[in-house]
Chain A
Amino acid sequence: MRAHARAAAVLLSLAFAVGVAACGAATPSPPASVALPASASEPPPTASTPPASRPSVAPSVVPTRVPAGDLGREIEIHSLDRSWTAQMLEFASDGESILYSSGAMDGSDGEYAPDLWRFQPSTDAPELLWRNPRRDRSLVKIGGEFGTSAFVEMPLGGEITWDFWLIPEAGQVPILLDTHPGTGAVPDFVPSFHVHQDQVAWTAFDFGPDGEALSRLLYARAPDWTPVVVAERDARLSELWFPSLRDTQIAYCEVVYSADRTTDERHVYVVDAAHLDVAPRRLDTSGRATMPILLINRGVVWKEADPGFSMFNWGTMFHYDEETGEVTRLPTRPQEYVNYPSAGARFISWWGADTRAFGVYDRDLDTTRLIDRWPAATNISILRPHSSWELLVWLQAEIPGDDLGQVRFAFLPSAGTDRNRD
C-alpha cells in the first residue's frame, strides 16, 4: 500500500514536472468479502485511484435488524468490540482502517485519551500506533490516509496549548509539525487539517514577528515534512480554516471579520501548493462558504450556515462544478441541516442534525441514499459519521444510555459500480 502511495507520489511529481493534471477515472474495488493482498505486480494507482485492494473484514458483530435504507441493505455493516472503544474520544476513517484515540492503556477509569489506535478490518484486534508519554493529554482531532496519520494532542483542562503531530507510517516516530505558543494572546483553536498522498495541510494560530496573533495555512510533504507557510493573516481581521487536499491543490476557508467581530464573510479558495506564486482562486459568491472538500475526480463541496450563524453551526451543502463554475445546492435528505462533511471516492457524508436518520450523497447516482432510519420507539442516534475513500465510520449510540455507543463501519460501493442496479 505504501509502495503504491510512493509510486503515486512519483507519478504525481512527474505529472507536475510536465504540467499535466493527474486525474483519471477511479478503479472499482472488489467486493468486501474478497481479500486481495497487494502485490508488486499491481499497477500503481493514479492520483485519484483508490487502493487496489480492499481488506477482507474480520468477523465482527453483524446487526440483525434490516436497515430501512436501500444503501443500508446493500452494504455490510460491521462493528468494533465495545470493550476496545469504551475509552475512545475521537475517531476517523483513513480509507482502509479506523483511527481512534483512547485511554484504554490506563484502564477503565482513564480520564484522558492520550494514545492513537488503529483497527484494520482484516485483523482481529486494534493496534497501538502511538503510546503517548504524556498520559494527561488527549488526542482531540484525528485524521489520516492509508497509514499516514495526523492528530492534535492537548490537555482538556483549559490550558492554552496543543501539539500537532504526524506519523508518516505505522511504526515510525511521530513528527511534531506545529505547536501552540501557549499564551492567551493567540487563539487556542486547535488546527484543522487534511492528510492526502504523503502530504498534509493544516491551519493554526501563532505569533507574528511583532507579537501579533496570526492565522496560518501550512503545508508539508514527505519525505522531510518541513512546514511551509502557504498563507498568513492578521488574526484580528481574518482566519484561515478547514484545508482539503487533492493532488497538490488545497481548498480552504477564509473568514473575514467586521471591525467589531459581530459579523463575518466566509469564502472558499483553492491554491496550488506546487505553484504558490499563483494567486488563490475564490469559488463561492455567497460569503457563507466553509468546510470545503476537494472531491476526488473533480468537484468541490462546502457547507453554508444560515445568515447570522457561526460557521461551526449546522448548515446546508453546496457543490461547485470545476468545469462550469456553477454552484448548486447539494441534497442532503433525510437531513435538512448537516455539519462536518467528509467525502470518499463516490459518497459524501456528514453529521446530521437529526441523529435518528442516516444517509449519504451518492455522486455516481446523483442522489441521496438512505442507510437507516429508526422508529420513535428506539433511542438510537447516529453520531459523527466520517468517510475517506470507501470506508465510512460512525458511532451508533443509545440515548439516554450509559456507554459511549458502538463504532460501526462499512465499505461503501466503489465509484463506477452499482451492484443493485447492474
Chain B
Amino acid sequence: MFSRRIRMAMLSAMLTSALTAAPAAAAKPIPPPGPPPSPPVVSEPPLTAEQLAASDRKIAAAQAYLAGVEAGGNHLATLKCVVPTSTEAQTLASVAESATVKACAVPQGFLAVEARDQIRGHYCGPAVGQVIANYSWAMAAGRDVFTQFQLAGWMGTDANGGTSSQALANGLETATRGAPRRPAVWQWVVTQLRDGDGDGHVGDELHGYIRANVSGSRMPLAFSLKPHDRFAKYRLSSWPFPVNSPGHWIAGYGWVGNYSNSNELARTYYTDSSRDEGGSTGKFWDPTRHIAEMIRVHTGVFVW
C-alpha cells in the first residue's frame, strides 16, 4: 500500500508537470476559443385558471377514452401473440386488416407525419408546428402548408428568442384552425405532467395521454425537454452528444405497448428537427418512461 501511494504521488507529480504543458499540436492549429453564446431563456408563465380548466377537460376526455379502451379489452395483447419487430407505420398499417394481426398485435397507434429540419437554431418550436400543421392539413409528402417563419410569427419565437409552451399552443391554434384532420371540438392546451395515481411515476400518465391523443383524437402532441443534458440520466436518441440546451421541442406522433413500471417496453414515437443544432432530423422513438422523465425535469408541461 505504501509503495503504491508513493507511486501515485510520483505519478501525480509527473502528470502535473506533463499535463499542464500545452498539448502537442499535430495536424491542425488549435482554434482560438470563442465566447459561448448565451442560450435564450424562455419563461414559462404559470397556467391561468382558464388554461388549467381547459387542461383538466382534456385530461378527463383522455381518461374517458382510455377507460373505454380498457372496457373493450383492447388494452392488452393475448399471450399467444408474438411481439412484432417492425414498427414502421406504413408496414403495420398495410397488414392491420388481417384479423390475426389485429388480435395479436401489441397495442399501438401512429399518425402519418413527416419530420422537418429547423431552419434556425431557435426554431425547434416552429419546426414542430410545421410537422403538426402539415399533418393537420393532410399535406402531400414534401409539401408545407406554412413556412417556419409564419409559424415563428404566430408563436412569437423571434420576439422571445424561443418558444414557450403557451406560445406554441397559440401558434398551433392558428396554424390548424379549420384543418381537415383537426377534430371538430378541439383546443390546443398546455398540461402539467403530474403523477395522478400517486405511484411515483409520470410515465404512465404520459403514455395514456399520448395514446388518447394519437389513437382517440388522431392528433400529434408537442413535448418540451432538454434533449441531452450534461447531468441528465436519460437523453433523446436523436441527440448523440451532450449540449447545454435551454429546451427543445419535439413532435409526438405514435405509441407502442402498455405502460408498466416493471419494464420500459412502452414507447413514444417522435420527430426531431435538430440536424444542424447538435441533434438529428428524422423519426425516432424512446421509451415513454425516458421521455416523461425528461419532461418532468425540464418544464414539466406538454402541449396537446
Residues of chain A at the chain B interface (Cβ within 8 Å): 89, 111-113, 123-125, 127-131, 133-134, 136-138, 140-141, 155-159, 161, 163, 165, 171-179, 182, 184, 187-190, 225-227, 260, 262, 306-310, 312-314, 316, 336, 339, 353-357, 375-376, 379, 381, 383, 395, 397, 399-401, 404-405
Contacts and interface: CB of A to CB of B under 8 A. Distances in A.
Contact of B264 (A175, A260, A312, A354): A354
B117 to A, nearest CB: 8
A129 B27 contact: no
A130 B26 contact: no
A177 B280 contact: no
Contacts of B242: 89, 138, 140, 156
Given A128-B19, A165-B23, A171-B18, A309 B277 contact: no
Given A127-B12, A354-B287, A163 B30 contact: yes
B244 A171 contact: no
Interface in B6-24: 8, 11-12, 14-16, 18-24
A310 B280 contact: yes
B233 A404 contact: yes
A131 B11 contact: no
Contacts of B142: 260, 262
Nearest to B231: A404
A159 B278 CA distance: 10
Nearest to B11: A127
Given A171-B14, A309-B284, A188 B276 contact: yes
A178 B27 CA distance: 6
A159 B36 contact: yes
Interface residues of B, number: 77
Interface in B178-226: 200
Contact of B261 (A127, A260, A312, A376): A376
A167 to B, nearest CB: 9
B146 interface: no
Contact of A383 (B20, B27, B233, B262): B233
B11 A307 contact: no
A113 B244 CA distance: 12
A235 B105 CA distance: 40
B291 to A, nearest CB: 12
Contact of B28 (A179, A306, A353): A179
Contacts of A314: 237, 285-286
A124 B5 CA distance: 9
B87 interface: yes
Interface in B29-51: 29-31, 33-34, 36-37, 39
12 contacts: A127-B11, A131-B19, A140-B241, A157-B37, A163-B30, A171-B14, A174-B24, A307-B88, A307-B91, A313-B237, A353-B267, A354-B263
Given A163-B30, A262-B115, A306-B88, 13 more contacts: A131-B19, A136-B36, A140-B242, A161-B31, A173-B18, A178-B27, A179-B28, A179-B31, A260-B142, A312-B238, A313-B285, A383-B234, A400-B296
A187 B293 CA distance: 30
A172 B86 CA distance: 48
A357 B23 contact: no
Contacts of B28: 176, 178-179
Nearest to B83: A336
A359 B90 CA distance: 32
A316 B85 contact: yes
B20 A131 contact: yes
A156 B114 contact: no
A164 to B, nearest CB: 9
B4 interface: yes
A307 B18 CA distance: 49
Given A158-B278, A176-B28, A316-B85, A399 B234 contact: yes
Contact of A176 (B24, B37, B91): B24
Contacts of B281: 310
Contact of A308 (B11, B29, B283): B283
A282 B33 CA distance: 40
Listed from nearest, the 9 A-B pairs whose CB atoms lie closest are A157-B36, A376-B262, A310-B282, A354-B264, A174-B23, A376-B261, A156-B244, A175-B26, A173-B24
Contacts of A159: 34, 36-37
A155 B260 CA distance: 38
Given A140-B241, A141-B241, A353 B12 contact: no
Interface in B105-158: 114-115, 121, 141-142
B240 interface: yes
B96 interface: no
Given A156-B242, A178-B27, A136 B282 contact: no
B247 to A, nearest CB: 13
Contact of B26 (A140, A225, A308, A375): A225
B21 A173 contact: yes
B243 interface: yes
A308 B200 CA distance: 34
A161 B37 CA distance: 13
Nearest to B284: A313
A157 B39 contact: yes
Contact of A175 (B23, B240, B245, B265): B23
Contacts of A187: 275-276
Contact of B19 (A129, A309, A353): A129
Contacts of A260: 142
A158 B277 contact: yes
B237 A176 contact: no
A158 B26 CA distance: 25
A373 B116 CA distance: 38
B19 to A, nearest CB: 5
A279 B230 CA distance: 40
Contacts of A308: 88-90, 283
B79 interface: no
Interface string B261-304: 11111010000000111101111111100100100110000000
A134 B121 CA distance: 25
A158 B284 CA distance: 22
A357 B263 contact: yes
